[in-house]
Each structure stands twice: as C-alpha cells, then as structure tokens.
C-alpha cells in the first residue's frame, strides 16, 4: 500500500468516531461558548459578543459565592479522599495476602457501582434526622436530640468522599502493585525503615498516580449536580446547582453557559497545575 492510500484508509477507520465527537461534542461546546456571549432580553435570545454574563458572575453575590462553595467542597473532597484512600490501597496491596487481594479490592469498590442517584439517597438514609446514625447515637445514649447531618456541607462532602475513596483506592492500588517489589526490598536492604521507604521511594514513585486520581476526583466532583442537590439541600448552592436553576426556572441559557465555561476554566487551571505529574494515558 502506498503511504497515501494507507493514510486514506486510516482516516476512513477513524472518521466515524471523529465525526461523532465533532458533531456532538465540539460543535455543542462551541455553540455553548457563543451562547455565553449572548444575552436575554425579556424572553428572547440576542446573539452577540457581550461579556454581560461574565460581569454578572462577579457582580451577583450568589453567583460568586457558588464558585467559592464549589471550590471549597471540591478541594476538601479531593484532599480527604486521597488521605483516606492511600492507606486503604496500601493495606490491600502490601498487607492483604496475594490470593485475597483481588477479592479485597473488588469488595472495596463494589458499591462504586451503585447508581449515582441511589448512592446519594442511601447516604440520606444514613444521615437523616431519624436515620441510622442519629438512631444509633441516641440508642447508645451519646446524644439526646438528633443532630443535623443531612442538608449540610458535611453531608455533601461525606457522599463525595465515599464515592472518590473507592475510585482512588482503585487507581492508587493499581499504581502500588505495578511497582517492582524490588524497590521496597532495595530500600530496606540499604537501611531504610518502613517510613523512610515510603517517604523517599514509594511516595515519589506513586505521585503520578495520586495526582492523576486527584485530578479525576477534582473534575468529577466540581461538575456534579446530584450529590450536592440531594445531600446538601439548598442551604448553599454549588455551580452545577446554579446552572440547573438557570436552565429550569428562568431558561437563562446564556448565564448557564457562562457558568459552564467558568467551570471548564477552573478544570483547565487544575489541569495546568497538575500537568507535570499527570498521566492521563495511564488511567
């Protein structure tokens, strides 16, 4: 085959997927970008190149507040999830005997496959006023009145952390297990204790995996609507919740688009910050 014919053939195979991605991802994305520069006059949409929506984000306190809330929740969730997942992955990789590892891992991430909506609802059952936790605490006599757990930021963070601990355990475990066991042996052999081995050898070697997992957590968390909506209630709104409000009640597509673009901007910044260690091809 000549290089030219070969090329045409290669394009032919890739074309359907590329066209699909362009038509249903790139084009909608560009339209959304254009929409963010349009304005609503009454109920009619006026296309244009106006920055009014972006200006509104800085002027209206509840919009700026939503961005802050989203950032705070996402950063908290990412840090807490990594800190909780790493020891779990470590224990499964290095403490659980080899023949039980796959089972332990499977069990550790099985509830990951609970439906997205159902998972948040299940946490509501646990955290509700009459739910499992309050009931148990009252039963034990630790508290006399139910404490408010649901419809708080704590509930949102808990729901998120539950989900991302499972995801991160999986990615960090995969990272730990692919390291040659000889790295640990060599470090020990050269006189390092368990902590030094972790600090100087294992942690630096798994950093790309941690950062990749943390980035994934950040992206999925900041864009999620369901968990804060079900568990956080309407005490404080995240950006995705505000977007949905714009779409629903007011059909303000331009403002919703501007918020979506801001969300993407934040993700891009997170990407740039972590690019040095990111290995998205290794997911």
Site for other proteins in 2-21 (CB under 8 A): 3, 6-7, 9-18, 20-21
Contacts of other proteins in 107-146 (CB under 8 A): 107-108, 110-111, 113-119, 121-126, 128, 130-132, 135-136
Site membership for other proteins, residue 100 (CB under 8 A): no
Interface pattern 155-174 for other proteins (x via CB under 8 A): -------x--xx--------
Single out the residue of 64, 39, 59, 63 nearest to residue 50, CA to CA: 39
Contacts of other proteins in 44-63 (CB under 8 A): none
Binding segment for other proteins (CB under 8 A), chosen from 50-58, 67-75, 104-112, 170-178, is: 104-112
Site membership for other proteins, residue 195 (CB under 8 A): no
Site membership for other proteins, residue 182 (CB under 8 A): yes
Strand partners, 45: 40
User: Are the CB atoms for 196 and 187 separated by under 8 Å?
Assistant: yes
Site membership for other proteins, residue 192 (CB under 8 A): yes
Selected binder of other proteins within 60, 65, 185, 279 (CB under 8 A): 185
The number of residues making up the chain comes to 283
- Give Cα 42 distance to the centre of its chain: 36
Q: Smaller CB distance to other proteins: residue 144 or 180?
A: 180
Tell how strand 44-46 and strand 39-41 pair up.
antiparallel
3-state secondary structure of 180: coil
Query: Alpha helices of the chain — where are they, by DSSP H?
Result: 3-21, 27-36, 52-59, 61-94, 98-109, 116-127, 132-139, 153-177, 181-189, 194-197, 203-222, 226-227, 239-245, 253-274
Selected binder of other proteins within 37, 69, 77, 260 (CB under 8 A): 260
Size of the site for other proteins (CB under 8 A): 99
């Amino acid at each position: 085959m000549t290089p030219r014919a070969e090329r045409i053939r290669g394009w032919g195979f890739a074309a359907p997927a590329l066209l699909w991605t362009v038509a249903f991802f790139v084009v909608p994305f560009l339209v959304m970008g254009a929409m963010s520069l349009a304005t609503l006059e009454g109920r009619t949409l006026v296309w244009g190149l106006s920055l009014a929506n972006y200006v509104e984000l800085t002027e209206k306190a509840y919009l700026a507040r939503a961005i802050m809330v989203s950032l705070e929740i996402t950063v908290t969730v990412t840090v807490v999830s990594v800190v909780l997942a790493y020891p779990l992955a470590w224990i499964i990789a290095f403490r659980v005997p080899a023949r039980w590892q796959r089972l332990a891992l499977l069990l550790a991430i099985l509830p990951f496959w609970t439906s997205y909506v159902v998972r948040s609802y299940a946490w509501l059952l646990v955290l509700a006023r009459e739910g499992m936790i309050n009931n148990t605490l009252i039963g034990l006599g630790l508290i006399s009145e139910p404490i408010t757990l649901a419809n708080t930021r704590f509930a949102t963070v808990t729901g998120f952390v539950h989900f991302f601990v499972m995801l991160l355990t999986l990615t960090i475990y995969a990272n730990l297990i692919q390291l040659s066991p000889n790295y640990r042996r060599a470090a020990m052999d050269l006189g390092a204790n368990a902590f030094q081995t972790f600090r100087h050898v294992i942690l630096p070697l798994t950093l790309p995996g941690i950062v990749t997992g943390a980035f994934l957590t950040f992206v999925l968390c900041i864009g999620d609507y369901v968990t804060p909506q079900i568990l956080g209630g309407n005490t404080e709104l995240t950006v995705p919740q505000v977007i949905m409000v714009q779409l629903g009640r007011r059909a303000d597509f331009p403002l919703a688009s501007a918020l979506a673009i801001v969300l993407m901007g934040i993700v891009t910044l997170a990407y740039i910050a972590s690019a040095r260690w990111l290995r998205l091809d290794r997911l």
